[in-house]
Chain A
């Protein structure tokens, strides 16, 4: 009998010994079904009606109500409830082919007449698609009891306005049932309470401020962040402020220090409206501080009434710092609560499409948005320093170690660790 080499025996023994561990590791990375994710949020929503503007920081509306088309992370249009689209012979009407086998949350099939949805619109297709991808264009069916019924991966199982909600998995979702059984949401929770609830295991997901990310990581919490979805900017509300003063204020701001110290390097200092991940050209707008030039421009400038929400944990320190920076350049910013010459605001990035996002920003700022390429559009919006972008901010959450794929609600799943376990 041929003798088996001992090294092979050792190797086989090692494999046998490691097999359970390797199996476990492989299983841990693979999504699993079941469980309930508990989420807390600061906003208190009255409704999930897509047509009603709401501070939907969690993306609850897209999880319940779907649009015909959507934009991916690259800003490209992708099929949603429509699988394809074409126009009629006169190019006056676009015909969207409805996705087959879509079931509404109430179990009824979603079957548009003829299997198509006609959109009479002679604008260029990109614009039509941008509009159709907005949450306000989601497909919503009003049930007999008045409730809103959608087709998304989750259905509204319970809704207590401004208090709590429960989104249950839509088993007949056309793209496949979501991994978790439900998402339990508590609304109107202060950030400090959310952090305590997370640490005490009462929630799986808690909103956090961007500047707290580093501290919470040091405490051992898992941090989930989106790409920058918000732009902090100074907006001049008084058109009589001289352009030189506006430019001086723009040049006096030390964005790097604001990001490094106040935001703990969690933001993206920029003089552009759109973040780099969305536009790709934000570096073309100079964001460096030029104090000497600012001082030159600020000579004989008048004090400006400066307003910002002092209850906002992010705006307050940044506003204070901007006032100090401006003071160094010779510009006096006096804190005001009502009407102001200049205001520090948070501008949400509403779309993954740069044109749509710019269009919405222009609408928010009440500026005319020229119909041109995004860069030229942004250049036009920023011309004259009517708006001075400061920094782009991501959304951040502290999550337990069991939560995976946060914040993509359709893909979120819970790891082997029991839901609610402390990390």
Chain B
């Protein structure tokens, strides 16, 4: 991740985080405010229901008193009316339930269940209810189950019978509460009976846990219910038990729709997202501008450094400011100038050293043949003073020696000439394994020469005969040099292991010996021209190998430890660009 990206990320994150914090705080505050208001509204609704129930109870008491004193009740008591006459009376007074019962509670006529005449009324009416002025809640048995009703009991004139009537707790009662928009009152009266002002409520099981909680504790309880997959269908409920004589008759639930609250929260969220998004965009733009000003010089410095690393030491960075970045650019430019100066000095010193080394080597190489030449010529001069026959003999020997030493000098000069005139490679497709086998074939005789300590050969060639683009002559010469070096490294015999293997995008050729090995210092200088560890070497063999490998765009390395032999590894690419 670039410095600029980091800066942009941090600035954007800061803006988004700040907006998120503000949005969250506003949303939580709004939600709490809504909840407080809703709680107050729900409690007010419960109070309103209680007052409505009281008012209806008083009205019911008046109705029952009227019914009890009506002629119809007298006819029912006297047995002159039909058995279901109470139905007519109940309808006339809009009562849902009406039982005319004897003092022993035997039903004379029942409006809501006419067939129960002759049976005992089982509304759990106690004698104190007969004289009670207030209405009360009772659970009334019906053919299809029980119903909860507001009930009142009065004596008929003369005390011959009791008139018990009631009104079912129905949607109409809830409708009359005049509930504010967004609120509703629900009544749970039985496991399968949950009503609101419109009638039965769908999915009553959603409120089962809340109702069970109220039934179990006998206290108010709250819960939030989500009616469908839409979160906006959520509704917060405050539930209150409706009890009579410690018997639970039902549960009243005051519900508040959370649609508005959720809508507001969503609006806040969207505003937050909008503001946050805008902030991020602005942050990104501002950050971009800022980071551009900060990172651009840094990037140019980085580009300059990369150019220097790539070898372009003439690279300069424009100094655009006088701040820390400007000082850095100035220091960079000074550094490159110093580097160039040091490089030039190093090149000069190296060149001098190379010439010195070349001179030393030349002197060394030429000194050896020159000394015999001088001795031979001096012998010839001295032999001139001898007899002719002796002179002739000395002359023959001396000229042979001179020719041999001159040939030796020619060879030395030829080697130096060859190194200087290394031609560019001519690439062709080469079967590497075949080439290796050819090289080993060439040196097989040397390995098996009589009187030489035994060197066993181990060939481990890659499967599939890898083919590469190479100059077969140069490669053969390079491998030959490595093999000769290995053989020279094992004067007491050993194992020569030559291996080829495929590597990623190329091949590797290893030539390993079991000789005395090399020190790390020797390994470092091994490929330097004219450096040799042998008493008779020119120090050009491995230099030529390195030159060939370099011309093949490969690389050569050596692994060695003293006493454990050395392994030279040449890695070559399969192809040579456009050359083949």
Residues of A whose CB lies within 8 Å of any CB of B are 215, 257, 261-262, 317, 320-321, 323-324, 328, 335
| Structural contact, A323 and B115, CB atoms closer than 8 A | yes
Residues of B whose CB lies within 8 Å of any CB of A are 82-84, 113-119, 143-144
Q: How far is the CA of A215 from the CA of B75 in the complex (A)?
A: 14
| CB neighbours of A262 from chain B (8 A) | 83
| CB neighbours of A321 from chain B (8 A) | 115
User: Chain B's nearest CB lies how many Å from the CB of A232?
Assistant: 15
| Structural contact, A261 and B143, CB atoms closer than 8 A | no
Among candidates B113, B119, B143, B144, residue contacting A328 with C-beta atoms closer than 8 Å = B119
Q: How far is the CA of A257 from the CA of B115 in the complex (A)?
A: 10
Question: Apart from A261-B118, A317-B84, what 15 extra A-B contacts exist at CB < 8 Å?
Answer: A215-B82, A261-B83, A261-B117, A262-B83, A317-B114, A317-B115, A320-B113, A320-B114, A320-B143, A321-B115, A323-B115, A323-B143, A324-B115, A328-B119, A335-B143
| CB neighbours of B113 from chain A (8 A) | 320, 324
Instruction: With A335-B143, A335-B144 as known contacts, state yes or no: A324 contacts B116, CB within 8 Å.
Output: yes
Q: How far is the CA of A215 from the CA of B83 in the complex (A)?
A: 12
User: Chain A's nearest CB lies how many Å from the CB of B97?
Assistant: 16
User: Chain B's nearest CB lies how many Å from the CB of A4?
Assistant: 58
| CB neighbours of B143 from chain A (8 A) | 320, 323, 335
Closest to A321 in B: B115
User: Chain A's nearest CB lies how many Å from the CB of B143?
Assistant: 6
Closest to B81 in A: A215
Query: What are 11 A-B pairs at a CB distance below 8 A?
Result: A215-B82, A261-B83, A261-B117, A261-B118, A317-B114, A320-B114, A323-B115, A324-B119, A328-B119, A335-B143, A335-B144
Closest 6 CB pairs of A and B: A320-B115, A321-B115, A261-B83, A324-B115, A324-B116, A257-B118
Q: How far is the CA of A261 from the CA of B79 in the complex (A)?
A: 10
| CB neighbours of A261 from chain B (8 A) | 83, 117-118
User: Chain A's nearest CB lies how many Å from the CB of B83?
Assistant: 5
| CB neighbours of A215 from chain B (8 A) | 82
User: Chain A's nearest CB lies how many Å from the CB of B416?
Assistant: 121
| CB neighbours of B117 from chain A (8 A) | 261
Q: How far is the CA of A262 from the CA of B109 in the complex (A)?
A: 12
User: Chain A's nearest CB lies how many Å from the CB of B314?
Assistant: 103
Q: How far is the CA of A320 from the CA of B82 in the complex (A)?
A: 16
| CB neighbours of B83 from chain A (8 A) | 261-262
Closest to B118 in A: A257
Q: How far is the CA of A317 from the CA of B82 in the complex (A)?
A: 12
User: Chain A's nearest CB lies how many Å from the CB of B281?
Assistant: 68
| CB neighbours of B84 from chain A (8 A) | 317
Q: How far is the CA of A324 from the CA of B115 in the complex (A)?
A: 7
Closest to A322 in B: B115
| CB neighbours of B82 from chain A (8 A) | 215
Q: How far is the CA of A416 from the CA of B461 in the complex (A)?
A: 145
User: Chain A's nearest CB lies how many Å from the CB of B126?
Assistant: 23
Q: How far is the CA of A261 from the CA of B119 in the complex (A)?
A: 13
Q: How far is the CA of A206 from the CA of B555 in the complex (A)?
A: 127
Max chain B Cβ within 10 angstroms of own Cβ: one of A257, A317, A324 = A324
| CB neighbours of A328 from chain B (8 A) | 119
User: Chain B's nearest CB lies how many Å from the CB of A192?
Assistant: 15
User: Chain A's nearest CB lies how many Å from the CB of B142?
Assistant: 11
Q: How far is the CA of A335 from the CA of B144 in the complex (A)?
A: 8
User: Chain B's nearest CB lies how many Å from the CB of A22?
Assistant: 39
| CB neighbours of A257 from chain B (8 A) | 118
Closest to A319 in B: B115
Q: How far is the CA of A394 from the CA of B113 in the complex (A)?
A: 26
User: Chain B's nearest CB lies how many Å from the CB of A206?
Assistant: 19
User: Chain B's nearest CB lies how many Å from the CB of A108?
Assistant: 54
Q: How far is the CA of A257 from the CA of B84 in the complex (A)?
A: 14
Q: How far is the CA of A323 from the CA of B141 in the complex (A)?
A: 13
User: Chain A's nearest CB lies how many Å from the CB of B111?
Assistant: 13
| CB neighbours of A324 from chain B (8 A) | 113, 115-116, 119
User: Chain A's nearest CB lies how many Å from the CB of B576?
Assistant: 95
Closest to A254 in B: B118
Closest to B116 in A: A324
Q: How far is the CA of A103 from the CA of B290 in the complex (A)?
A: 126
User: Chain B's nearest CB lies how many Å from the CB of A260?
Assistant: 9
| CB neighbours of B114 from chain A (8 A) | 317, 320
Q: How far is the CA of A323 from the CA of B83 in the complex (A)?
A: 17
User: Chain A's nearest CB lies how many Å from the CB of B78?
Assistant: 14
User: Chain A's nearest CB lies how many Å from the CB of B291?
Assistant: 80
Q: How far is the CA of A142 from the CA of B115 in the complex (A)?
A: 51
User: Chain B's nearest CB lies how many Å from the CB of A172?
Assistant: 49
| CB neighbours of A317 from chain B (8 A) | 84, 114-115
Closest to A328 in B: B119
Q: How far is the CA of A321 from the CA of B116 in the complex (A)?
A: 7
Closest to A211 in B: B82
Q: How far is the CA of A320 from the CA of B118 in the complex (A)?
A: 13
Closest to A324 in B: B115
User: Chain B's nearest CB lies how many Å from the CB of A353?
Assistant: 36
Q: How far is the CA of A328 from the CA of B144 in the complex (A)?
A: 15
Q: How far is the CA of A215 from the CA of B143 in the complex (A)?
A: 28
Q: How far is the CA of A215 from the CA of B80 in the complex (A)?
A: 10
User: Chain B's nearest CB lies how many Å from the CB of A133?
Assistant: 40
User: Chain B's nearest CB lies how many Å from the CB of A328?
Assistant: 7
Q: How far is the CA of A381 from the CA of B269 in the complex (A)?
A: 79
User: Chain A's nearest CB lies how many Å from the CB of B9?
Assistant: 71
| CB neighbours of B115 from chain A (8 A) | 317, 320-321, 323-324
Q: How far is the CA of A323 from the CA of B119 in the complex (A)?
A: 13
Q: How far is the CA of A229 from the CA of B83 in the complex (A)?
A: 25
Closest to A325 in B: B115
Q: How far is the CA of A335 from the CA of B142 in the complex (A)?
A: 12
User: Chain A's nearest CB lies how many Å from the CB of B84?
Assistant: 7
| CB neighbours of B144 from chain A (8 A) | 335
User: Chain A's nearest CB lies how many Å from the CB of B87?
Assistant: 11
| CB neighbours of B119 from chain A (8 A) | 324, 328
Closest to A261 in B: B83
Closest to B80 in A: A218
Q: How far is the CA of A324 from the CA of B118 in the complex (A)?
A: 10
| CB neighbours of A320 from chain B (8 A) | 113-115, 143
Q: How far is the CA of A85 from the CA of B144 in the complex (A)?
A: 60
User: Chain B's nearest CB lies how many Å from the CB of A307?
Assistant: 14
Q: How far is the CA of A222 from the CA of B244 in the complex (A)?
A: 53
| CB neighbours of B116 from chain A (8 A) | 324
Q: How far is the CA of A294 from the CA of B82 in the complex (A)?
A: 29
Q: How far is the CA of A338 from the CA of B163 in the complex (A)?
A: 37
Q: How far is the CA of A320 from the CA of B119 in the complex (A)?
A: 13
| CB neighbours of A323 from chain B (8 A) | 115, 143
User: Chain B's nearest CB lies how many Å from the CB of A283?
Assistant: 24
Q: How far is the CA of A320 from the CA of B143 in the complex (A)?
A: 8
Q: How far is the CA of A321 from the CA of B115 in the complex (A)?
A: 5
Q: How far is the CA of A159 from the CA of B144 in the complex (A)?
A: 46
User: Chain B's nearest CB lies how many Å from the CB of A323?
Assistant: 6
User: Chain B's nearest CB lies how many Å from the CB of A78?
Assistant: 42
| CB neighbours of B118 from chain A (8 A) | 257, 261
Q: How far is the CA of A320 from the CA of B84 in the complex (A)?
A: 12
Q: How far is the CA of A215 from the CA of B81 in the complex (A)?
A: 9
User: Chain B's nearest CB lies how many Å from the CB of A259?
Assistant: 12
Closest to B119 in A: A324
| CB neighbours of A335 from chain B (8 A) | 143-144
Q: How far is the CA of A257 from the CA of B119 in the complex (A)?
A: 12
Closest to A218 in B: B80
User: Chain B's nearest CB lies how many Å from the CB of A378?
Assistant: 29
User: Chain B's nearest CB lies how many Å from the CB of A212?
Assistant: 9
Closest to B141 in A: A327
Q: How far is the CA of A317 from the CA of B115 in the complex (A)?
A: 6
Q: How far is the CA of A262 from the CA of B115 in the complex (A)?
A: 9
User: Chain A's nearest CB lies how many Å from the CB of B49?
Assistant: 33
Closest to A215 in B: B82
Q: How far is the CA of A176 from the CA of B144 in the complex (A)?
A: 59
Q: How far is the CA of A423 from the CA of B82 in the complex (A)?
A: 24
Q: How far is the CA of A117 from the CA of B156 in the complex (A)?
A: 73
User: Chain B's nearest CB lies how many Å from the CB of A344?
Assistant: 12
Max chain B Cβ within 10 angstroms of own Cβ: one of A215, A257, A261, A323 = A261
